[in-house]
Copies of this chain bind each other. A is one copy, B any other.
Amino acid sequence: MEAAYSKLWLDYKPLDITFSGSLAIRCLKGVRRDCAAVSELITALSALLPQAELTFGADSASYIVELDIGGYLGPEDYTLSADERGATILGGSETGLLYGVFAYTRELITEGGFTRISRRVSPALPLRMLDHWDNADGSIERGYSGSSFFFKNGELIISDRTVHYARLLASVGINAAAINNVNVRGDAVRFITPDYYRKLDMLGDLLERWGIKLYLSVDFSAPMSVGGLPSADPLDPRVQSWWKDKAAELFRSVRGLGGFLVKADSEGQPGPYAYGRDHADGANMLARAIQPYGGKVIWRCFVYNCSQNWRDTRTDRACAGYNTFAPLDGRFDDNVILQIKNGPMDFQIREPVHPLFGVMKQTNTAAEFQLAQEYTGQQLHVCCLIPMIKEILAFKTYNGRDKDTVLDMISGAAAVSNTGDSFCWTGSELAGANLYGFGRLCFEPSLPAEDILDEWISLTFGQNEELKEKLLFILLGSRDAYESYTVPLGLGWMCKPNHHYGPDPWGYEFDRWGTYNRADRDAVGVDRGPGGTGYSELYYPPLSDIYGSADTCPDELLLFFCRVPYTHVLKSGKTLIQHIYDSHFEGCEQAEEFARLWRSLEGSLPEQVFKNGCERFREQLRCAAEWRDIVNAFFHRLSGIPDEKGRKLY
Q: Are B521 and A639 in contact (CB under 8 A)?
A: yes
Q: Which residues of chain A in 503-520 are interfacial with respect to chain B, using CB atoms and an 8 Å cutoff?
A: 503-507, 510, 519-520
Q: Is A630 in contact with chain B by the CB < 8 A criterion? A: yes
- Quick one: given A629-B311, A650-B311, are A640 and B520 in contact (CB under 8 Å)? yes
The 8 Å CB contact of A510, one of B519, B520, B626, is: B626
Q: Is A637 in contact with chain B by the CB < 8 A criterion? A: yes
Complex contacts, A267 vs chain B, CB 8 Å? none
Q: Are A503 and B507 in contact (CB under 8 A)?
A: no
**A627-648, CB under 8 A of B: which get 1 and which 0?**
0011001101111100000000
Q: Are B507 and A507 in contact (CB under 8 A)?
A: yes
- A510, A629, A639 interface centre (most CB from chain B within 10 Å): A510
**A288-303, CB under 8 A of B: which get 1 and which 0?**
0000000000000000
Complex contacts, A630 vs chain B, CB 8 Å? 310, 510
SS class, residues of chain A in contact with chain B: loop
**A110-129, CB under 8 A of B: which get 1 and which 0?**
00000000000000000000
Q: Are A505 and B504 in contact (CB under 8 A)?
A: no
Tell me how far the C-beta of A497 lies from the nearest C-beta in chain B, rounded to whole angstroms. Answer: 9
Q: Is A522 in contact with chain B by the CB < 8 A criterion? A: yes
Tell me how far the C-beta of A501 lies from the nearest C-beta in chain B, rounded to whole angstroms. Answer: 13
Q: Are A637 and B638 in contact (CB under 8 A)?
A: yes
Chain B residue at minimum C-beta to C-beta distance from A629: B311
Chain B residue at minimum C-beta to C-beta distance from A510: B630
Cα–Cα, bound, A460→B633 (Å): 52
The 8 Å CB contact of A521, one of B504, B633, B640, B650, is: B640
Complex contacts, A520 vs chain B, CB 8 Å? 636-638, 640
Cα–Cα, bound, A633→B522 (Å): 14
Tell me how far the C-beta of A649 lies from the nearest C-beta in chain B, rounded to whole angstroms. Answer: 10
**A385-415, CB under 8 A of B: which get 1 and which 0?**
0000000000000000000000000000000
**A502-545, CB under 8 A of B: which get 1 and which 0?**
01111100100000000111100000000000000000000000
Chain B residue at minimum C-beta to C-beta distance from A313: B650
Query: Given known contacts A507-B507, A521-B637, what 17 new A-B pairs fall within 8 Å (CB)?
Result: A310-B630, A310-B650, A311-B650, A503-B510, A504-B506, A504-B507, A504-B510, A506-B634, A510-B626, A510-B629, A510-B633, A520-B637, A520-B638, A520-B640, A521-B521, A521-B640, A637-B638
| Interface CB pairs A-B, < 8 A, 28 | A310-B630, A310-B650, A311-B629, A311-B650, A503-B510, A504-B506, A504-B507, A504-B510, A505-B506, A506-B506, A506-B634, A507-B507, A510-B626, A510-B629, A510-B630, A510-B633, A519-B637, A520-B637, A520-B638, A520-B640, A521-B521, A521-B637, A521-B638, A521-B639, A521-B640, A522-B640, A637-B638, A638-B638
